[in-house]
Amino acid sequence: MNSEFELIRYNENLPARIELRQGNINTPYHWHKEIELVYVMDGNLKIKVNTRDRELHADDFVLMNTAENHSLSAENATCLIVDISYEFAERFDGSLYSSVFKVVGGSGAEEELHNLLWQLSRTLNEPELPDLRQYAILMELLHVLFVQCKHENPTAAADEEQVRSRHVKLAKEYLQQHFREEITELEVAKMLGLNPIYLSTLFRESTGIQFREYLLHIRLEHAMDALLNKRMSIEDAAKAGGFPSKRTFIAKCKRAYNVTPFQLMKQRAAAEVRTNV
């Protein structure tokens, strides 16, 4: 089953997204880097976490670790969804990457988390400074998770490698879709919730080239296709490749192929003449 990446946008003033979902809920199989807690306030919720199916009822909750695949579905239910920034949580424990959170049924941790989620649901109706109270509860949630629910993850290395691979794949897909726009490494890193330096290192290790080199390769590939196969002018080919000007396209082409676009066009024309003779 394919799993899509979800970009989480946090609430203002909070290192998390807190939202209430009501009615019919149908969230396809997806993953994100955030730690997620789902609290069912009313109705029944079907949830799939990796390959495990569960059904939650009113007053139940479930925890998803970073990058776990999951989907949600319900008819006429009310759920509180809490997605906590992984980078924010990692500030408090540098070993988080090799750990996993587990909530043992019937334990004190389960009761404390349930109580905190219930309190968090109540803040949605507070008229004044709800984000201040939400921030305080989020800190308590993280404290319980770190102190009572954190365990060593035996598959940490494999899981981390899978996440790294996914991030590079998503960065490549983003570049393929937006190469005609002004793209910066900082923008892509922010979209993925990563440190720009980390993304740069990750990209170089995976592809063998720098982020900007990869973007240039995509732009040249599209520009050359427009020039040689679609018979566009050099100026139009430059636009098709996302270059800001014809001059930039010519300079980048010469640096990459040791010839200018005009020289390539002449070579193509000469080759066609030889073929037709």
Render 208-258 in DSSP notation, one character per residue. SS-HHHHHHHHHHHHHHHHHHTS---HHHHHHHTT-S-HHHHHHHHHHHHS
Q: What is the CATH number of domain 4-152?
A: 2.60.120.280
pLDDT at 1: 60
pLDDT at 25: 95
Mean of per-residue pLDDT scores for the chain: 89
Is there a contact between 77 and 22 (Cβ–Cβ < 8 Å)? Answer: yes
**Residues 241-275 pLDDT 10s:** 999 999 999 999 988 888 888 887 787 767 665 55
Render 146-179 in DSSP notation, one character per residue. IIIIEEE-TTHHHHHHHHHHHHHHHHHHHHHHHT
**Residues 23-82 pLDDT 10s:** 999 999 998 889 999 999 999 999 999 889 999 999 999 999 988 899 999 999 999 999
Q: Interior CA angle at 44 toward 42 and 48, to 5°?
A: 130
Q: Where are the domains of the chain?
A: 4-152, 156-208, 214-276
Q: Interior CA angle at 226 toward 221 and 231, to 5°?
A: 145
Asked whether the predicted pLDDT for residue 230 surpasses 90, the reply is: no
What pLDDT band is residue 12 in, cutting at 50, 70 and 90? confident
**Residues 100-126 pLDDT 10s:** 999 988 889 999 999 999 999 999 888
Architecture of domain 214-276: Orthogonal Bundle (1.10)
Residue located via tokens 């009310």: 78
The total number of residues shown for the chain amounts to 277
With a CB cutoff of 8 Å and minimum separation 6, the contacts of 228 are 264, 265, 268
